Structure formats: structure tokens, C-alpha cells
Amino acid sequence: MSTQMSSAKRGVATDEMKQVSKDEDVSLDYIVKSIANGSIIIPKNNARIQKIRIVGIGRGLKTKVNVNIGTSTLYQNLDEEVSKAKVAVKYGGDTIMDLSDGGDLDLIREKLLEAAPITFGTVPVYQAYATGVAKHKNPLDITEDDFLNAFEKHAKDGVDYTTIHSGITRELAKRVLEVRRHGGIVSKGGTITAAWMLKYEKENPYFEHFDYMCEIARKYDVTFSLGDALRPGSILDSHDELQVAEMINVSRLAKRAYAKDVQVMVEGPGHVPLNEVAANVRLAKSLIGDVPYYVLGPLVTDIAAGYDHIASAIGAAISAAEGVDLLCYLTPAEHLALPSAEEVKEGLIAYRIAAHAGDLVKIREKAIKWDTEITEARRTLDWQKQISLSINPEEAERIHTREGQHPGNNVPCTMCGSACVYIMLPQQRVKKKGEDDLHQQQLQ
């Protein structure tokens, strides 16, 4: 069966390519050629019969934002996760990932796929982990087949892309025990995989059997998101030997996936200090080429608990401006708890702002149109248009009208009142024009 990439390599434009061309206002020829060379992906599982809002991710396109939701081993409430999925769709999330590792994972995935008709991703190693807990009461009592079966199960269920921790090898797992890290390994999937390798003295199944996984991915046209199991969990660990070594492994695997007509993107950090954010993107791109780059944050400081959506949006904006293609949001609950639906909304909106800020650098000619429209609405005191163009019109209107102010046009808001800059100077212009016209009449 054809994949988006195999079709593009033959010069065939799929319906999905045509839709992305229209949505992004770029030529269909550009989309086809870019998918053929791997610089753009359209994650869409051919087993997913549900009609979804697809997106293109990659060079020359708008920066996209991913929303993470899902249960944990300590707390499972499917209704809450469904509500978060609906919030992600309502407030403009481009993709969504189910990170559930507790409860009935099959049922959770099924319900979230239904609730979120957008590009959908998962982390199969969490399914393998849950298999160990359910069968053996020990998450590490799993086999190579459990790793591989989890991936195939997700592919069959219609998942559009999967995070695969294939870059952490047995050799790197051993190095983890020797290299001093302030933050340790903060990737759950990376920790599970590393612990399993060390316990059984075996190679990572997602690395050893990568070609087999490519066969499955090609069958369902599942996109690989090659995970960063060794991403820094503290800015003190940024760009240490573990992170860079894994990045080199992943860059090689990305090329192998491309050769087999499997769409692929690469994941990045993590916690990175402000002065290293741009360098991280450049380093990654130098290794992976034009393959889409997908980053978590990055967080530019470790002290912002409760406000990590802000701290990470700073890094996200810089990353997007430097060429990152997909941003994975953080919420105010990061490092503290599972997020609420409201915190999902706050994180998503912060990241949509960051994505657009990056696009003003990366694809300025297209992105600036939004700012131009809202600037004109602001200058003319067209409140209805200004609010409708806001990143979150509901919140903009709530704030604008909370003082009992009538939301009519051509009146100032309560910030400046009669001293409104868009009233005072225009009045003087009108007055000056009237005086000039009168003077001209007198001369005649």
C-alpha cells in the first residue's frame, strides 16, 4: 500500500497533499516535492477511517502545536481526558498525543481518537509498560515482542504518529550509569527502555528491530516521531554527551526510515538555557537535515513551576523562529500534576502565540497578515474585529467588557479613556484639516 512519501516520490499528489497546499497557501508542486524529500510530513494513518483535520508539518509551513493529555498510573479519569481532548480541538491544537500509562489504555485511546478528530499520536512503550504491570505486576517483566506488539497495536488502531525511543541503545544505557547528570533521565519512555536493557542485558527492541518497525509503519502509513529519551531534564544538563550521542543515533535512523518511504520527524529537548536554544536547532538540523524537528518547549529555566507554560513558550518562540516545525506545549501543571482542562487551554494558547511569533520570522510575508489586520482594527477602534482576530476571542471579550463597558466601536477602552491615542491625535488632524480648509477658502 502506498504511503504519502511513496506517492510523492512518484510525483503523485494525494488528497491530503492537496488539502495542505490549500490550507498553507503554497503550491501543490512544492508540497509534493517536499514530502518526497522528507522535509514535510502529513501524518495520517490509512487505517483511521474517521474524517480528521489534517496538517502538514515541515519546512515552509506554519509552525504547528501539539497538545499532550492522558492518564497516569496514579490517576485515571477518562471523562476528564475526553474534555481535555475537546478543549485541544476547540482552541486550535494541530496535533494531540495520548500519553496515558494507567488504566485501560485501549479504551482510553479509542475514546480519545473519537473525541479529537485531528492528527493523533501515542507512545507505544507505555502500552508495553502497562502490559508488564497487568500481566506480571512488574513493568519490566516484558519481552521484545511486548515492545513490538505495542507499536503494531497502535498502528492498527489508527494512530497517525508514534513516539519511538529508538535512539537510546544498550551502550548509552550503560553510559547513563557513569555520566553525572543533575536532572537524570526525565523521559518515562527512555527510563523504561534503559532499565529494561540493563536488567536483561539486551539491545533496545526499537533499535534492533527498526527495519521491521518500518515495515509496519509503511503498511499503515504511520509517521515515526523519533523520541529523545536522553533529553536534558535540567538546563544544567543541556547538550551533554548523552543527549548529543542519542541525537546522532536518531539522525541515522531517520535516514533509514526515509529510505523505506516512512514519514519521520525528530524530537528535541527539553530543558535548554536561553543562549543555547538557537544553537540546539542548528545542531539538530545539521544532523537530521530538513527532516521536521519537534521540540518540547524548550524550558529556558527550571524555577517556573506553576508557570512552565510561560517559561517554555519563550524557548518555543525562539525555536520556531530558528526553524522548528512542531512545538509540544507545556501547561502550568508541568512538573506538578496532571493538567486540568483549563490548564490545557492556557498551555495551548501560550504555544499558539509562540508559534506565531516564530512564524513572523520564519514565514513573515504570510504570518504578518494576521498582525496587519488586528493593527488596523486596533487603530480604528473596531472592537468587534479586534476581538474576533485575537488568539482567544472569548478571553479578549471578557476582559474588554468586564467594567460594564459597551463593546461598541469608536469608543475608547478603560485603559486610557478620553486620553486614547486613537482619539486625541485623529481629533487634532480633523481640527487641523478644518483650519487649513478655512484658510484656503479665505485666500480664494
Q: What is the pLDDT of residues 223-239, one digit of tens each?
A: 999 999 999 999 999 99
Give the three-class secondary structure for 262.
coil
pTM: 0.94
pLDDT in tens, 163-186: 999 999 999 999 999 998 999 999
What pLDDT was estimated at residue 414?
86
Residue 288 to residue 143: CA distance in whole angstroms: 31
Kindly report the backbone phi and psi dihedral angles of residue 322, in degrees, each rounded to the nearest multiple of 5, phi listed first.
Answer: -85, -10
Give the three cell numbers for residue 56: 502538514
Of 187, 182, 151, 156, which is closest to residue 68 (Cα–Cα)?
187
Average pLDDT, integer, range 416-442: 66
Query: Mean pLDDT across the stretch 336-364?
Result: 98
Angle at 300 between CA 56 and CA 360, to 5 degrees: 40
Q: Tell me the average pLDDT of the chain.
A: 94
The candidate with the shortest Cα–Cα distance to 244, out of 293, 280, 272, is 280
Superfamily for domain range 4-362: Radical SAM ThiC family, central domain (3.20.20.540)
- Whether 439 has a pLDDT exceeding 60, the answer reads no
Please give the pLDDT value at position 429: 55
Average pLDDT over residues 126-142: 92
Strand 264-268 vs strand 57-58: parallel, antiparallel, or unpaired?
unpaired
